[in-house]
Structure 1
Amino acid sequence: MSDRPNGQPSVTVRHEPVQARAAQRVEALLDAAAAVVIEHGIEHLTTALVADRAGASIGTVYRYFPDRVAVLVALAERNLERMRHAVGRVLAQPHETWTDATDAVIGAMVDTFREVPSFRSLRTGEGLDLGPVARQEVAPLFADVIAEYVAERWGIELDDERRDDLVLAIGGLDALVTYAFLHDPHGDPRYLALGRMCAMQHLTAAFGDPVAPDDPRDGAPVT
C-alpha cells in the first residue's frame, strides 16, 4: 500500500528549477566560448575548447550546441541582446534633442565594445559564414528602434529616403567603431570621433538640422 496521500507520484516534476539550471549552464558555456574567442580567435573555437574552458564534458556542450557554429551563433545572439539592452536603457530617458539621444546611443554602443570583450571580434555575428543562412543585418534593426523613438519624442516621421540615411548612419558608425577597437581595447579615439562625425551627416539628413532645445523647430525635418 502506498504511503503517499491521494496517490501522489513519488517524483514531482519541477520545471522552473530545471530550466533555471539549464539557462545557467548555457550562460556558463557561452562565457567559456567568449573567453576562447578572445584568446584564440573565432576561427580556432571548437566545442572541445569550450568544454575544457567551462570545466564541462564534451557531452554537456553537445547537449545544448550541435557544433561550433551553433556556439558562435548563440554567442552572437547574446551579444546582440546586450547591445539591445544598452540602447534600450539610454532611449528610456527623455533626451532634450535628437542629438542628445543619438550621442547617448553612440555612447552605449562604444561601452558595449569596451565591456563585452567578445563583441570586439564577433559583434552580432554578421560576419559569420553560415552557408546559405545569413545573419540578420543589424543596422536596419536599430534604425527601427531609433526611428520609433524620434517619432514618439519629437513627431519626426521618416520617409524611405530619410530612413536610408538613418541606416547608413548606423552602419557606417558600426564599421568605424569596429575598426577603432581592432587594435585598441579602449577604442582608438580618432576613429570613434570620425564615426560620430560621419554618422551625424546622415542623421542630420534624416532628422533635420540640430537646434537649441527651446527652439520650436527642434527636430523638424529639413525641407
Structure 2
Amino acid sequence: MRDDGAMDDLSAGGPSITVRHEPVQARAAHRVEALLDAAAAVVVEHGIEHLTTALVAERAGASIGTVYRYFPDRVAVLVALAERNLERMRLALERVLGAEHASWEEALEAIVAAMVETFREVPSFRSLRTGEGLDLGPQNREPVAPLFVADIAGYLGARWGVQVADGEHEHIELAIGGLDALVTYAFLHDPDGDPRYLTMGREIAREQLAPLFAGAGA
C-alpha cells in the first residue's frame, strides 16, 4: 500500500525530447540518484519517521508517479538510501585500506578518520547510517557487520600477513562494533563528533585488534 494514497502522475514519466539520446539505463540511474538525494534531505530536515514518498517527490521536483516508478513505498526509499550509505562507507574504507600505512595503528587512525568524514559529509548518515535500525516489518535485510569484518580480515592478511583464524573473527567484530557504536554516539548531539567518544572508540578497536598482531611482527 502506498503510504500517502497519492495518485500516480504517469504523464510525467514519458521520455523527454531533450534527453531522448541519453541511454535509458543512465537516465534511470540519474533519476534514482536525484530521488535519493531528495530523500536524504527530507531525512535530515524531518527525520526518518516523517519521510513519505510525497515529500521525496516534492523535494526532488518530480511527480509522485516518478517516485513510484522506482520505489513502491517509503520503506523501499529508506532501504535504497541505506544501501547507498553502505556503499559510500565501504568505498571510503576501501580507499583507506588501499593506501600505504607505516603501521596497523596508523591504518586504524585512517579508518576512524574515514568514518568521521562519512558521518560529517554524507547527508542522512547520522540518522540513518546503513539502515541497521530500520524496522522493515516482515521483510528481512542482511546484516552489514559481516561485510566489514570480511573487508578487514582480508586487509589484515593481504597487507600485514595476519591470518585470522575462525575463532579470532570476534576480535574484528568487536573492534568494528565498538568503534561504530561510539562514533555514532559521538555524532548524536555534536555535528562534528564529540572527540571523547571518538577517542574511546579508537581505544576499544585498538584493544581488540592488538591480539591479532601478537607475534605477527606487524
TM-score (ref. length: structure 1):
0.85
- Whether 2:137 is the aligned partner of 1:131: answer yes
Consecutive unaligned residues of structure 1, counting only runs of 5 or more, are 1-13, 210-216
Consecutive unaligned residues of structure 2, counting only runs of 5 or more, are 1-19
- Corresponding residue for 1:61? 67
Superposed counterparts of 1:109-124, under 5 Å: 109-124=115-130
Structure 1 residue 15, shift from structure 2 partner: 9.0
Corresponding pairs, count: 199
- Corresponding residue for 1:144? 150
Partner amino acid for 2:210?
T
Q: What is the distance in 2 between the residues matched to 1:189 and 1:15?
A: 50
- Corresponding residue for 2:113? 107
Tell me the alpha carbon deviations over residues 156-179 of structure 1, each in whole angstroms, 9 at most, x when there is no partner.
011123210111100111011111
Partner amino acid for 2:70?
Y
- Corresponding residue for 2:6? none
Tell me the alpha carbon deviations over residues 157-210 of structure 1, each in whole angstroms, 9 at most, x when there is no partner.
11123210111100111011111001111101111111111111111123338x
Q: What is the distance in 1 between the residues matched to 2:82 and 2:213?
A: 31
- Corresponding residue for 1:8? none
- Corresponding residue for 1:182? 188
Structure 1 residue 99, shift from structure 2 partner: 1.3
Identical aligned pairs, as a percentage? 71
- Tell which has more relative contact order, 1 or 2 (C-alpha 8 A, sep 6+): 2
Given that 2:89 and 2:115 are in contact with CA atoms closer than 8 Å, whether structure 1 keeps it comes out as yes
Structure with the greater alpha carbon radius of gyration: 1
- Whether 2:81 is the aligned partner of 1:75: answer yes
Q: Secondary structure at the match of 2:100?
A: coil
Q: Which 4+ stretches in 1 moved above 6 angstroms?
A: none
Cα distance change on mapping 1:93 and 1:79 into 2, 3 Å: same
Superposed counterparts of 1:1-223, under 5 Å: 17-208=23-214, 218-219=217-218
Name the Cα RMSD after superposition: 1.6
**Relative to structure 2, which stretch is displaced further, 190-199 or 60-69?**
190-199
